[in-house]
Amino acid sequence: MTPLTTPVGQADTLLHLVPPVVSPRADVRALVRTVASDPLARCAFVAGDDGRLLGVVPVDEIDRDLLMLLAPGVAAQELVTARQAARLAHGLDETAQRLMRTAACVGLDDTLAVAVQRMAERRQESAAVVDASGALLGYVALFELLADALVAPQAIAPAS
């Protein structure tokens, strides 16, 4: 069990290195392949050619869209928001750059509690971990942190 007061860089069983990454130019096909390569992350991180983190495309940002594209009969039963409809304008050629949001993000010296806080603020299930230069190094996953913390709930500390 790793206390939530542990710095992310020292959480050597919870920090996942070499996360799923796409370029900003990646289309929906590439996004789906990338998300499928790492089901735990529940997202594809978007990074520039220099490795710096630009944003994130959470899985829920593309699954409904794909449903509507690939199984419109099923998707018709779903509530389609204006934002989803707008995203569909480009179909499978939609790019990561247009789909991405600001990523929940922490540095190696931030604690796991701060990571949980950032994920909660952004309503995301994983937080990008960047090094001192801003390059994407890895991620921590919300439910993995929670499951680990619940082994000893008294160890849960407020974010600092």
Interface residue list for another protein (CB under 8 A): 9, 12-21, 36-41, 51, 131, 135-139
Work out how close the CB of 38 gets to another protein at its nearest, in angstroms, rounded to a whole number: 5
Could you give the strand order of the β-sheet that contains 53-58, starting from the edge strand earlier in sequence? 21-22, 43-47, 53-58
Instruction: Provide the minimum distance between the beta carbon of 8 and another protein in the complex, in angstroms, as a whole number.
Output: 11
DSSP class of residue 1?
Answer: -
**C-beta of 5: minimal distance to another protein in Å?**
18
d(CA 136, CA 75): 34
Nearer to another protein, 36 or 76 (CB): 36
Report the SS3 class of residue 16. strand
Based on CB atoms, which residue is closest to another protein, 57 or 139? Answer: 139
Our CB check for another protein shows the closer of 89 and 151 to be 151
Closer Cβ to another protein, 19 or 58, answer by number: 19
